[in-house]
Amino acid sequence: MNKSTPISELPNLKKGDNKNAYEEKENQIVSEILSEIDNSNKENVSMNINQEDDKSLDTPDLQNDQMIDQQRIMEQQMIQQQQQQQQQQIANNTLENSLNNSVNDSLAINIINMVKQPLIVAVVVAIVSIPQINNFIMGFLSGREKLASYSTIILMLFKSILGASMFYGINMNL
């Protein structure tokens, strides 16, 4: 159906036609438009009725198909729920194991950290206390008469610098 009005049927106001003719023409156009709208509504209603009749004929098959689809959906949902529960159990078990391991690991790490520095100090003191180091430094200082009178102080300074550098080096590497 053509729902447009040709330009030739529109009233021409420039010609100065009678207002009654203009109103009649306008009323005629409006009535044509309304009749076209009514006809299109009747066609849509008749098409909807035909479609509903077709659906009512197919309802037993559709109902069976819908029930089968619903069962499949329910089965898939149950499978997904079971998988989620299994994943949660695995995650919970993994979390518990990691917590237990981390507690055991952290205890061992804490003990090692507490004992590490005193052990380093003990090793450094033992190395610095070796008599060969004293003999080496004293032999070096005995050749110089000016430093021989300060040999005890120089020996202590040398050992302290040696011990501090050893402690720093060992501590940074561990």
Q: Summarize pLDDT for 50-69 with one digit per residue, the tens.
A: 565 555 555 667 778 888 88
Q: Are residues 143 and 120 in the same domain?
A: no
Half-sphere exposure of 57 (CA within 13 A, CB side): 5
Q: Are residues 77 and 115 in the same domain?
A: yes
Q: Are residues 119 and 88 in the same domain?
A: yes
Q: Is residue 58 part of a domain?
A: yes
Secondary structure E strands in the chain: none
Q: Is residue 1 part of a domain?
A: no
Q: Are residues 104 and 160 in the same domain?
A: no
Q: Is residue 2 part of a domain?
A: no
Q: Are residues 106 and 154 in the same domain?
A: no
Q: Are residues 63 and 141 in the same domain?
A: no
Q: Are residues 113 and 68 in the same domain?
A: yes
Q: State pTM to two decimals.
A: 0.38
Q: Are residues 122 and 157 in the same domain?
A: no
Interacting residues of 1 by C-beta distance below 8 A, sequence separation 6+: 36, 39, 40
pLDDT in tens, 129-158: 999 988 888 888 888 888 888 888 988 999
Q: How many domains does the chain have?
A: 2
Q: At what angle do helices 151-173 and 131-142 cross, to 10 degrees?
A: 130
Q: Is residue 69 part of a domain?
A: yes
Residue numbers of the domain that contains 165: 129-174
Task: Give me the phi and psi of 104, to 5 degrees please.
Answer: -65, -45
DSSP 17: -
Q: Are residues 122 and 37 in the same domain?
A: yes
Q: Each residue's pLDDT tens digit in the chain (174 positions)?
A: 566 766 666 655 445 455 677 778 888 888 888 888 888 777 766 666 656 555 555 566 777 888 888 888 888 888 888 888 888 888 887 777 776 666 667 788 888 888 988 998 999 999 999 999 888 888 888 888 888 888 889 889 999 999 999 999 988 887
Q: Are residues 122 and 68 in the same domain?
A: yes
